[in-house]
Amino acid sequence: MPILRAPLVTLLATTLLGLGTASLPSEPHLTPAASYLPRLVARGRAPTAALLAHTPSAAGHGSYRSTGPGIRYADRFRAGSITKTFVATVVLQLAGEGALRLSDPVERFLPGLIRGHGNDGRRLTLRALLSHTSGLYDYTDDTSAHPVSAIAAIRTATAHRPMHAPGTYAYSNTNYAVLGLVVRRVTGHSYATEIRRRIITPLRLTGTSLPGARTTLPEPHGRAYTRDPAGGGLSDVTVLDPRTAGAAGELISTLADLNRFYAALLGGRLLPSAQQTALLNTEAAHGTYGLGIYPQRLSCGVTVWGHNGHIQGSYVRTAATRDGRHTLTYRIDTDTLDEADTLEPALLEAEFCAT
């Protein structure tokens, strides 16, 4: 499956070859995917790459490797569209509590907001938003607009005609901007507050946060870079305004926290049975996407579930087995990875297809 690329990096931009020795003393083994990290630097032109894998046989911190000192085990980084899985989990929990139904139209919660230019919130369900089958124009594709609120982002989107008729899969950050507002309308709290209350605190994700208007990263953190497509030079973009990303991509996290979150989610610890089934149901998106999470079938027959995050200065991908017992998160400290369509599948296959 092609790598999903949320184009938040476009909107936010104003713009070795041997393994390093970075590892933890408690590391029980060298994860199979670690041998692929240098390729992300040599062929993918990432300044630094790192990964953390947890397997049923691993203990403690799992298996960590990096290509150099640019990324450390405990570093906080921007996780981009992985935010969507957190938002989807909250929405599904609310469905399990009877506070909403996935078949509810957006109009029920946000009357009059999705209107004009062929857009109609009366025809769009929450399930369509979660599965990216609403057809709503992706506000990040309008490079003339720089919205710093969900309302502004949605108005940018509804100034354009839909990308497709409802029912066709088309990845759009606008869907999750809308869902963030739905969470507020249903709970009386922001999606950030609900994510903290329902996910971050119970799972003790001590390195995970939603920054709001904060432009800096919490300590500890490394640097984040974006590459000039013309000259190829790197610019430091560690400091940026995350409000444009919002519910579609503002999350800050760590390698360990993302592994823990997806292990809990896929392991059935965050959702009731019916909502767990809905989470992994890809029928609406014709096998491409579930509800805030997507599958990738590897050549060995294993299917992994997870999400990626692509935002200015950062690219991250988490993948896990269906039961959540084997998880892998890797990241680079830039938003561009050359040969990503071949490098990422090779890394995942090395990890999950190893015998």
DSSP 105: B
- The C-alpha atoms of residue 14 and residue 84 are separated, in whole angstroms, by 24
At 12, is the secondary structure helix, strand, or coil? helix
At 57, is the secondary structure helix, strand, or coil? coil
Is residue 17 within 8 A of residue 183, CB to CB? The reply is no
Q: Which residues are marked as active site?
A: 81
- The C-alpha atoms of residue 270 and residue 289 are separated, in whole angstroms, by 19
Is residue 322 within 8 A of residue 345, CB to CB? The reply is no
pLDDT in tens, 75-111: 999 999 999 999 999 999 999 999 999 999 999 999 9
Average pLDDT over residues 129-153: 97
Is residue 89 within 8 A of residue 270, CB to CB? The reply is yes
Q: Which CATH architecture has domain 8-79+207-352?
A: 3-Layer(aba) Sandwich (3.40)
- The C-alpha atoms of residue 350 and residue 299 are separated, in whole angstroms, by 11
How buried is residue 294: exposed, middle or buried, by Cβ count under 10 Å (0-12/13-18/19+)? buried
Domain boundaries defined on the chain: 8-79+207-352, 84-187
The single residue listed with the structure tokens 């963030």 is 180
- The C-alpha atoms of residue 28 and residue 100 are separated, in whole angstroms, by 45
Q: Does residue 322 have a pLDDT over 50? A: yes
Whether the model pTM is above 0.85: yes
Q: Worst-scoring range by mean pLDDT, 36-40, 61-65, 285-289?
A: 61-65
Q: Return the percentage of the chain with pLDDT > 70, whole number.
A: 90
